[in-house]
Every structure is written in C-alpha cells, then in structure tokens.
Amino acid sequence: MDYTQGPINQSRKHGSWLALGLGSIGLVCIIAALQGGSQRSNLRENLVKPTQLAVSDAVVKDPLGGVGAPLAKRIVVSMDTNVNFHVAWNQWKPWSKEMSPWWTEDMIYDFIYVGDWKFGKSHGLPSWYHDEHLHFNKALPDAQWVDFIRAANDKNCTSASYGPAQFTDQFAGVPAPPSKPWVQVRDLDFYLLEGDRIKINWCMIDVVDLFQQVGYNILPPAPMDTLGYLPPAAMDGVPAPLSATVNPETTKESEKIWRAAVKEDYLEGSSAAARWADKITWYGPGGVGTAHSKEEYSTHFLKPLHAAFSNMTSQVDMIVCEGSYCGAHFYLWADHVGEWLGQKATGKRVTLRLGAHARIQNGKIREGWLIIDVPRAFKTMGIDFYSLMTTEAHKVEAQKVAQMK
C-alpha cells in the first residue's frame, strides 16, 4: 500500500537549486497552459521529472500527513481525502471502492446519540454508509472540513475540525430552517488502527451548538459567550502539529500533563484546574461557552459539573498526544444529583460521553476544546432531546412566519 499517493503531493526542493527549480516550474506551467487540457493532465508528472528541472537530484514526494507523520496520521489523512472531496458520496459502489482500503472489514463507526434514528454506532462499511453517512450528508451536504488539530502515533489518531455547511434537510428528525442557512459544524474524531487499517472511529459533533446557530435552543443561556471552535493560537502547522517538527520528549511531557488533567478535572472531581495556565482559551461545548481564564473554566464548567454528578466511574477509550497537542475520548457514568444545563436532578445514573483536546506549553494547558454528547446524557436522564428540539424548531419557524404577516 503506497501512502505517498493522493490528490495533492508536495515536492521537497533543496536550497542549492530552488531558484532554478522554480524557474523551470514556471516555464512548464506556461507551456502547459498554452498546449491545452491534455498537457494539463500531465503537469504534475512534468514537474517531478529531474530533467525538466535541470537538476540531477530526484524530487521526493511527501506523504499525505506530511514528512515524519506517524502511520496512523498517514492512514487517516489518506482516507479523509475521500471524505473532504465528497467522492461519490451517494453512490455505494464507487464510494465503497474508494473507502474500503482504509478500513477493517469489521470496522466500527461510533457517532453521537441520535435517538430513534438509530445511526449512532455502525458495524461495517455498508452500515456506516447507509446510516450516518447518507443521513449527515443529506442534512449538511458538501461540508468543507477544516482540520486544525491532528495528533497521532502509529496506532492512534485524533482530529479537531469545523465544517462550514448549509443546513438543508432534517437532522435526527429536527427540521432544517426553510432558509437553509450556513452553519459551522464542530467535529472531532478519534481513530484506532489494526495493522494499517482503521478499526474504530469515534466521531462527535456538537449538535447543541449546531441548533443554536439557527435559533433552535432548549437550554438556558450559556454562562459565557461563545467564540466558536477556533484553531490554536500557535504557528505549529495547520493542522497542528507538523509532525516533522515534533520532539518526542515534548510528546511525553504533554501526555503526562494531559493524563493528570483528565484525571483531576473529571474523575477526582477537583475544581482547581491545577494543570491549566491562569490565562487560557477554552472552547467549551454548546450551552457552556468560551472561557478566557482558569477561573472561568472552573467556575462555569468544572464546579457545575461536579455539583450535578456524583459517584463517577469512567472508561477512557483513547488518550493520544503528539508534541504539544493531546486528545482524549472517554465516558463518565454518574448519579445525577444536581442541576446541569437546565435539567434538575433526576437521581438517575447518567452517561456522559466527552471528546477533549488541548495545547500544552511550558508545563501548562493554554488552550482547550471540548464536545459533549448532550443528547445521550439527556436520554439517560429520561429527556428526549431531539423531540424537544423538533418542537422548538416548529415554534421558532412559526414565529418567523407570524412576524412577516
């Protein structure tokens, strides 16, 4: 399997002949433009021939994922090329031909809770295609995914992304606004490889934030304003980190801090946020907002979480770090003993599914990103999130019509 092949291949050029190479590239481009489409189709081949560049060195093709990228990053980026280009997205035979080389036959695609629509967890490529894949791409077609974090080792990979898309059809039964507005979909993924194929993909989007963007909201006002789901404030590559620049010692130190933070903030019920810097940017989930300090993060997220849930147990599916960037996908089970996101204590055993990312610098977490599967948590409280949201959507659209009369 050749991981260097893909729709985009960057060429590494050595400084001693950079100027000559660029001049040759310009000449080839001009000739190709004059000669028409048949020559354009061979342009990449022309560019990588040493004789065209008038040099003796062979041009080396970078792999998808970049030079030095771990195996899991190379595999996931190669697979994601199909997703990002929407290759034959609604045609099973060509789509499966494109996708099957990257997945095990017994692969699992684990999406957020979607109620009666029953496409949360898919087993096998056909199930994923007919369940989540078709439904999501009909509701939010042609999403242009922007990955801003992609951290990996040879077995695990994680990404944090957002996708501008038009909300055109129902999502889990919630109708799209008639205006079909543009939205920014917050997304994260965690991947587990088996050999050189993807065995499990845990995927989450922030549906609370998605619906709030179009005016559908069943939660109380968030305690903090939201700044969205923005890329890191660091020149570490896009997506970050650029693997070729990563120091393995930095990865080890980041993982040590990140594991301690997940344990303290969630499992031990500490509100001290001891692993966080005083000044941070934490992009919290829909219903919570963006924190700009450790104090805000503790006051508006950790303390309400710990007051609402007790007797926690956990399951950590994955913690992965690369350089200064880390991710964690995990479950918490807890007794619902206090109000959370407007829902008063039910006394029930509640399931919380979370996906988190962080950027760590000088021994402290400087930026964080979090998505919570709120519909799943509400379900275990006995609350039908999507039914309430559907009612809210009809109410909002009816009010709009009334105001136009």
Do 293 and 161 reside in the same domain of the chain? yes
The answer to whether position 308 is within a domain reads yes
If you write DSSP's letter for every residue of 263-321 in order, what string do you get? IIIIIS---S-TTEEEEEEEEPPTTT-EEEEHHHHIIIIIHHHHHHEEEEEEEEEEEEE
The answer to whether position 4 is within a domain reads no
pLDDT at site 59: 52
Q: Taking 50 as the threshold, does the pLDDT of residue 56 lie above it?
A: no
Q: How many domains does the chain have?
A: 2
pLDDT grade for 405, boundaries at 50, 70 and 90: confident
The answer to whether position 75 is within a domain reads yes
Do 102 and 223 reside in the same domain of the chain? yes
pLDDT grade for 17, boundaries at 50, 70 and 90: very low
What average pLDDT score do residues 148-168 get? 98
The answer to whether position 132 is within a domain reads yes
Do 122 and 39 reside in the same domain of the chain? no
First vs last C-alpha separation in the chain:
62
Do 109 and 249 reside in the same domain of the chain? yes
pLDDT grade for 98, boundaries at 50, 70 and 90: very high
Do 42 and 75 reside in the same domain of the chain? no
What average pLDDT score do residues 173-192 get? 98
The tens digit of pLDDT for each residue in 377-389 reads: 999 999 999 999 9
The tens digit of pLDDT for each residue in 124-134 reads: 999 999 999 99
CATH number of the domain at 125, please: 3.10.450.50
Do 26 and 166 reside in the same domain of the chain? no
Do 151 and 202 reside in the same domain of the chain? yes
Q: By CB neighbour count within 10 A (0-12 exposed, 13-18 middle, 19+ buried), where does 204 fall?
A: buried
For residue 21, give its domain range.
11-61
The model carries a pTM of 0.85
Do 20 and 98 reside in the same domain of the chain? no
CA atoms within 13 A on the CB side of 88: 10
Do 267 and 350 reside in the same domain of the chain? yes
pLDDT grade for 282, boundaries at 50, 70 and 90: very high
Do 179 and 300 reside in the same domain of the chain? yes
Do 19 and 87 reside in the same domain of the chain? no
Do 172 and 120 reside in the same domain of the chain? yes
The answer to whether position 290 is within a domain reads yes
The answer to whether position 401 is within a domain reads no
pLDDT at site 94: 96
